[in-house]
Amino acid sequence: MSAVPPETCRTEELLAGTIAGLIAGARHVAVGASSPIPAAAALLARERGHGRPHVSLLGSRRQSFFTDGGRELFDCAGQGRIDAFFLSGAQIDGEGNINLVCIGDYTRPKARFPGSFGSAYLYYVVPKVILFRLEHTRRTLVPKVDFISAPGASADNVHRPGGPVALITNRCLFAFDRMRRRFTLASVHPGHTVAEVIDNTGFDFDRSVDAPTTPAPSNDDLRILRAVVAPQLMEVYPKFAAEVFGMKESA
């Protein structure tokens, strides 16, 4: 499994391959709304693991074993039956707080986003939450979010088996330290630099002198993503599958 040169691999594929590595060994991975790259990653991990982890894609009939309505996902998570989940944010800050609601004052916002979805619950109870944001700028990665849809950390007496473990962007991968409530630069994607990451990040983070380069997906992973995962994404993410993998929608 030799690595391929980065120019033959799209950013979406690099991110999916990296996320698949982060969730290796999970028993059950769930993917929420508007999360096509995490969906690709989870399906890739399942293919690599010959059917493990179990994958539940929100909104899918085929990639879901749920039969008890929308609540089953949350009931599973509450019991610890979901090991990994993915969240994004219009804003994400250096303490791992995420904002899916608004910019400016909540009662008179300057901009409004769809809403918090399941974040204000799943962020607390799923052990490995991986944050993802494809726009890595000072506009999105901010010192302090305007609205906390879900906090990165909680007071000691709050039931909190879950929380963030990583943040992946179009430029780099950060790891999150829950005790210190801080991100550390884990790797920089091919074609990007540490200086560029610093310039475009609105919060402080830790870093070693030289951060490694994020490994590109293997040829085998790229083949699985393009040949096996892409068709499976068509049901829930037809637009993404068409744009990234050239899948054609059937009439």
Partner 1 sequence: MIVRSLDEALAPITDGCVLAVPRDVSGVAMAATRALIRRGVKRLHLVALPTASLQADLLIGAGCVEVIETSAVSLGELGPAPRFTAAVVAGAVRVKDATCPALHAAFQAAEKGVPFMPLRGLIGSDLLAHRPDWKVVDNPFGSDDPIVLIPALRPDVALFHAPLADRDGNVWIGRDRELATMAHAAARTVVTVEKLYDGNLFDDPTLAAGALGGFYLESVAVVPNGAWPLALADHYSADANHIADYARLAATADGFAAYLDRHVHERRAA
Binding site for partner 1 (CB under 8 A): 33-34, 36, 59, 61, 66-71, 74, 78, 100-102, 106, 108-125, 147-151, 154-155, 157-159, 237-240, 249
Q: How far is the CB of 240 from partner 1 (least distance, A)?
A: 7
Single-letter amino acid, residue 43: L
As a whole number of angstroms, the distance between CA 105 and CA 144 comes to 14
Q: How far is the CB of 131 from partner 1 (least distance, A)?
A: 16
Q: How far is the CB of 159 from partner 1 (least distance, A)?
A: 5
Beta carbon nearer to partner 1, 152 or 217? 152
Q: How far is the CB of 151 from partner 1 (least distance, A)?
A: 4
The encoded tokens of residue 54 equal 């179990």
Kindly list the distances between the CA atom of residue 6 and the CA atoms of 93, 106, 191, 215, 238, in Å, as whole numbers in the listed order: 29, 42, 8, 9, 25
As a whole number of angstroms, the distance between CA 74 and CA 125 comes to 9
Beta carbon nearer to partner 1, 106 or 206? 106
Q: How far is the CB of 168 from partner 1 (least distance, A)?
A: 20
Beta carbon nearer to partner 1, 7 or 156? 156
As a whole number of angstroms, the distance between CA 173 and CA 171 comes to 7
As a whole number of angstroms, the distance between CA 103 and CA 99 comes to 9
Interacting residues of 124 by C-beta distance below 8 A, sequence separation 6+: 150, 154, 158, 159, 160, 161, 162, 163
Beta carbon nearer to partner 1, 28 or 192? 28
Beta carbon nearer to partner 1, 125 or 197? 125
Are the C-beta atoms of 11 and 37 separated by less than 8 Å? no
Beta carbon nearer to partner 1, 50 or 108? 108
Q: How far is the CB of 209 from partner 1 (least distance, A)?
A: 35
Residue with tokens 């790229």: 222
Question: Computed from CA positions of residues 133, 136, 140, 142, in that sequence, does the dihedral angle turn out positive or negative?
Answer: positive
